[in-house]
Structure formats: structure tokens, C-alpha cells
Amino acid sequence: MKKFVSIAVALAFVFGVTLVLAATAPEKVTLKANPKKVVEFPHKIHSDQFKCEVCHHKWDKKGELKACLDCHKKTDGDAPKYYKAFHDLKVDNSCVGCHTKMGKDGKKAGPTKCAGCHPKK
Ligand code: HEC
Ligand code: HEC
Ligand code: HEC
Ligand code: HEC
């Protein structure tokens, strides 16, 4: 009986955790569409500070999240190129665009130099 209860508790725990994970932002994401430019993205420190739609800018806030690469292709298409989605300085929601703007405003921001996101091997 004791054993049965502990299995039930363990199962509930596992399911609980799975449900929470499905609904929340990941701790870390590795962007690796370009194997030579792999980026470890500390997702959680971002999603704790900014609204999801800042970056997931085409998300309807209920359905599944699409990868940036689903729309931002390596070559010109309907959406700006893959490279622009992360480096465009003219917008506030690309990685480098946001870090640059916040740095200029004197706020704590992330790296703007290439090696800050693309560490040399
Ligand atoms: C600063 C930008 C940014 C913010 C804010 C942000 N995300 Fe993300 N998120 C990303 C990027 C970039 C990816 C990687 C997408 C890809 O693989 O193309 C991602 C991926 C994800 C994934 C997929 C994880 C995986 O392993 O593939 C989920 C789920 C997710 N985000 C949820 C959220 C939720 C929920 C929020 C708001 C609470 C949020 N994100 C806020 C940038 C952000
Ligand atoms: C469903 C398609 C789609 C998805 C998914 C998508 N984008 Fe976009 N994105 C676009 C389109 C189309 C534009 C052009 C402007 C607009 O329509 O908002 C754009 C514009 C941008 C811009 C402005 C670029 C510029 O040079 O003006 C940035 C930055 C950006 N996206 C980042 C991202 C990131 C980061 C992700 C993944 C977390 C992502 N996008 C996911 C379609 C998408
Ligand atoms: C809307 C603004 C915004 C966008 C978009 C954004 N960042 Fe950041 N990023 C920040 C801020 C603010 C910090 C500093 C957070 C802190 O240390 O509390 C940061 C910090 C970081 C750090 C340093 C983390 C550390 O531990 O010191 C990395 C790496 C990083 N960002 C990568 C990225 C990448 C890669 C993307 C695009 C996929 C991205 N960021 C998009 C605002 C942004
Ligand atoms: C704040 C983070 C950040 C900084 C700083 C940064 N990048 Fe990136 N870069 C990314 C992300 C995220 C990707 C997508 C990685 C992937 O999917 O492989 C990327 C991808 C790339 C790609 C591949 C694009 C493609 O279409 O295959 C090149 C080339 C690149 N970066 C060059 C640079 C150069 C050069 C610099 C310095 C001028 C730089 N990056 C600075 C985040 C950054």
C-alpha cells in the first residue's frame, strides 16, 4: 500500500511538472540553424523581463509557438532574412537591436559584440 501511494505521488509529480513545462517559457534555447554560428540563448532571464510578444511577435498568445526560421529564411522572402531577425539595429526586438538600445539608454543589457553571442572555439 505504501509503495502504491508513493508511485501515485511520483506520477502526479511527473504529470504536474510536464504540464507546467508545456505552459511556460524554457530556461535556455540553443539556436543552431547555422552550425558555425550556434548561440546559447538564456531564454528565462528574457521572458522574466519582457512580454512574450516582444520576440514571438506573430504569436496569437494561445496556439503553438513557431520557430523564427519558419518565416525568417536564409534568403530573402516574405519576411526579413534570418540574419536580420537577430541583428537588425533599426528595431528594438532583434537581439542586437535591443541590447544596443538598452545600452545607449544606460540600462543593463546583453552583449553587442559578435563574440558575446558567438563564442570563438
Ligand atoms: C527576448 C526574446 C524572447 C522573449 C521575451 C520570449 N521568447 Fe520564447 N523564444 C525566443 C527565441 C529566439 C526562441 C527560439 C526560437 C527558435 O528556435 O526559432 C524562443 C523559443 C521559445 C519556445 C520554444 C522552446 C524550444 O525549446 O524550442 C517556447 C515554448 C517559448 N519561447 C515560450 C516563450 C514564452 C511563453 C514567453 C513569454 C513568457 C517567451 N517565450 C518570451 C525569444 C523570446
Ligand atoms: C509567422 C511568421 C513569423 C515568425 C514565426 C516570426 N517572424 Fe519575425 N517577422 C515576420 C514578418 C512577416 C516580418 C516583417 C514585418 C512584420 O510583418 O511584422 C517580421 C519582422 C521581424 C523583425 C524586424 C526585422 C526588420 O529588419 O525589420 C524582427 C527583429 C523579427 N521579425 C524577429 C523575429 C524573431 C526573433 C522570431 C522568433 C522568435 C520571429 N521574428 C518569428 C514573420 C515572422
Ligand atoms: C527586448 C530586449 C532584448 C532582446 C530582444 C534580447 N535581449 Fe538579450 N538581454 C536583454 C537584457 C535587458 C539583458 C540583461 C539581462 C540581465 O542580465 O538581467 C540581456 C542579456 C543577454 C545575455 C547575457 C546573459 C548573461 O547571463 O549575462 C545574452 C547572452 C543575451 N541577452 C542574448 C540574447 C539573444 C541571443 C537574443 C536574441 C535571440 C536576445 N538576447 C534578445 C534584452 C534583450
Ligand atoms: C546578441 C546576440 C548576437 C550578437 C551580438 C551577434 N549575433 Fe549573430 N546570431 C545571433 C543568433 C541568435 C543567430 C542565429 C543562430 C543560429 O540559428 O545558428 C545568429 C546568426 C548569425 C549568422 C548566421 C546567419 C544565417 O543566416 O545563417 C551570422 C553570419 C552571424 N550571426 C554573424 C554575426 C556577426 C558578424 C556579429 C557581430 C557583428 C554577430 N553575429 C553578433 C545572435 C547574435
**Tens-binned pLDDT, residue by residue, of the chain (121 aa):** 445 445 444 544 544 443 333 447 999 999 999 999 999 999 999 999 999 999 999 999 888 899 999 999 999 899 999 999 999 999 999 999 999 999 999 999 999 999 999 998 7
Amino acid 3: pLDDT: 52
Cα separations in angstroms, 106 against 59, 63, 100, 109, 116 = 30, 36, 10, 9, 19
Architecture in CATH of 26-117: Alpha-Beta Complex (3.90)
Q: For 27-45, b where at least 16 C-beta lie within 10 A, e where not — what string?
A: eeeebeeeeeeebebeeee
Q: Which of the listed residues 52, 69, 71 should we mutate to test ligand 2's pocket, taking the one with most ligand atoms within 8 A of CB?
A: 71
Residue nearest to atom 39 of ligand 3 (CA): 95
Residue nearest to atom 9 of ligand 2 (CA): 79
For the chain, the structural domain boundaries read 26-117
C-alpha cell at 84: 536580420
Mention every residue, 6+ apart, whose C-beta is less than 8 A from residue 32.
Answer: 38, 39
Amino acid 22: pLDDT: 41
Cα 27 to middle of ligand 2, angstroms: 22
